[in-house]
Structure 1
Amino acid sequence: MEWTDLEAKYAQARSNEATSKKILLFIITVLIILTVTASLSEFQELFFYNDDHFFVKESSSTVLLILLLPFWLYFWIATLQFLLNYSFKLSMTLAIKSGVSGCLLLIIGFYPFNYYVETTLIDKGYIYCNWLTGSSVRAPDVWLKNEYLCLQDGSVVLSDVYKWFEIHNEKGIEPKLEELEILIQKARSEINR
């Protein structure tokens, strides 16, 4: 990184935009923390879970967001340099290059990585459950070891079913189909009320 004095043409802008750049620096910091946290938690969920779990909720594309981390770091450095009265040209150039590279790698790696995750889960005995996967593109995919627990009625009360499955995962106990049907009926009756 170059830490040379800020160009004269940006000196006036720096004094006018100091507050907005501080806010931008805070926002970028939050985005970096969220990106790292989401990527690492999803990575841990995908590759370091117990094989005795009967339920896996995965959103494998979240792991690939780590490819955008260099862009956010260079952008953060450029903003900091601007605030500290240093030239930010090189940092912004590196931010743009790493952003374009990161987006290309994300696009290229999306399908192969998803394919790898899906085949790994299938090899471990999981079955994709379409009914319990949310309708949104960003919704995590749901995989179960017991295909009979994939009930269409559960799609109406997804959050209740997820919580219930996660509790059973933590205990290491696979729930019974009858218990799930009772939970779904209770949750649906509460919605209707």
Structure 2
Amino acid sequence: MKIVEWKQADKKLSELLPKEIALCIGLPFLVAFICIAIANVFVSEIKIASSIGEAVYIKENSGRIPLIFLFFPFSFFLLASIQRLINFCPKLATEYFIKGAALMLPLFFLGIFIANFYVEHKLKQAGYNHCYWYTGASFRAPDVWLKNDSLCLQSGSLMQSDIANFFEPFNQQGTEPSLEELETFISETKQAREDYINGR
């Protein structure tokens, strides 16, 4: 069974319409960007999952881990777009993309439930608590988990990105902030925002 086929295309790139030429030139860059984005998301979520037990603050979206299943069909799509760009027939690579997408999409959706269940179970086993106040309202927003439930404060619910920045150095050092430090940070951040709004 052939995986890659290098056969000259019936029409050269120069013989296509200007819109088709533009598509053939732009498509490889777009698909390469998608492949790189999938790989980056997968690696970042795996790093987050591996920090369970060490970090005091975890912001995870484990449902994105199964995106790696889509990397394989998109790799064939990238190959097909490159082949067309350099005047080769992309028929076989395109077929593998379609077949791969049909096979991997069900695995991707199934993987979302499995990854979510596994990571959440691991977090609860390690003693983490889900913090609703620091989790975004959007369905796609990452879930925030804390080792110390007392650090989940309603007063920090409107400054989720600031809270994430506050916890970052503690995660790197492997230490935990005190409740007083967090309350002071929230109070000072709110005051700084009010001063900025009022032009002080």
* Residue identity matched to 1:7: D
Alpha-carbon distance, 1:18 to partner: 2.9
Question: Which residue identity is paired with 2:102?
Answer: V
Query: Which residue in 2 is equivalent to 1:96?
Result: 98
Q: Given the alignment, which residue of 154, 157, 166 partners 1:155? A: 157
Tell me the distance in 2 between the aligned counterparts of 1:98 and 1:45. Answer: 28
Contact 1:129-1:143 at 8 Å conserved across structures: yes
Which residue identity is paired with 2:83? Q
2:8 to 5, 19, 25: 5
Give, as a single letter, the amino acid of the residue that structure 2 aligns with 1:57.
Answer: K
The equivalent of 2:78 in structure 1 is 76
Whether 1:44 and 2:28 are equivalent positions in the alignment is no
Match of 1:171 among 152, 156, 173: 173
8 Å contact kept, 1:78–1:91? yes
Match of 1:22 in 2: 25
Change (3 A) 1:84 1:11: same
Could you tell me which residue of structure 1 aligns to residue 198 of structure 2? Answer: none
Matched, 1:34 2:42: no
Residues 118-147 of structure 1, C-alpha deviations (whole Å, 9 max, x = no match): 000110111111111111222211111110
Identity %: 35
Letter in 2 for 1:5: Q
Give the Cα–Cα distance (whole angstroms) in 1 for the partners of residues 139 and 180 of structure 2: 30
2:25 corresponds to which letter in structure 1?
A: K
Which among 105, 123, 147 is matched to residue 121 of structure 1? 123
Shift of 1:51: 2.5
Q: Tell me, yes or no, if the aligned pair for 2:131 and 2:144 is still in contact at 8 Å.
A: yes
Greater displacement, 1-10 / 49-58: 1-10
1:182 aligned residue: 184
Query: Cα–Cα, structure 1 residues 14 and 40, in superposed 2: closer, same or farther, change >3 Å?
Result: farther
TM-score normalised by L of structure 2? 0.88
Whole-angstrom distance in 2 between the partners of 1:31 and 1:20 = 16
> What is the one-letter code of the residue matched to 1:26?
F
TM-score under structure 1 length normalisation: 0.91
Q: Which runs of 4+ in 1 moved over 6 A?
A: none
Measured in 2, the distance between the counterparts of 1:79 and 1:57 equals 36
Structure 1 unaligned blocks of 5 or more: none
What is the number of equivalent residue pairs in this alignment? 192
Once the two structures are superposed, what CA deviation does each residue of 1:35-73 show, in whole Å capped at 9, x if it has no partner?
1111112112112x2623211111112211111101211
**By how many angstroms is 1:188 displaced?**
1.4
Q: Distance in 1 between matches of 2:72 and 2:13?
A: 25
Q: Displacement of 1:19 after TM fit? A: 3.3
Task: Give the Cα–Cα distance (whole angstroms) in 1 for the partners of residues 189 and 153 of structure 2.
Answer: 14
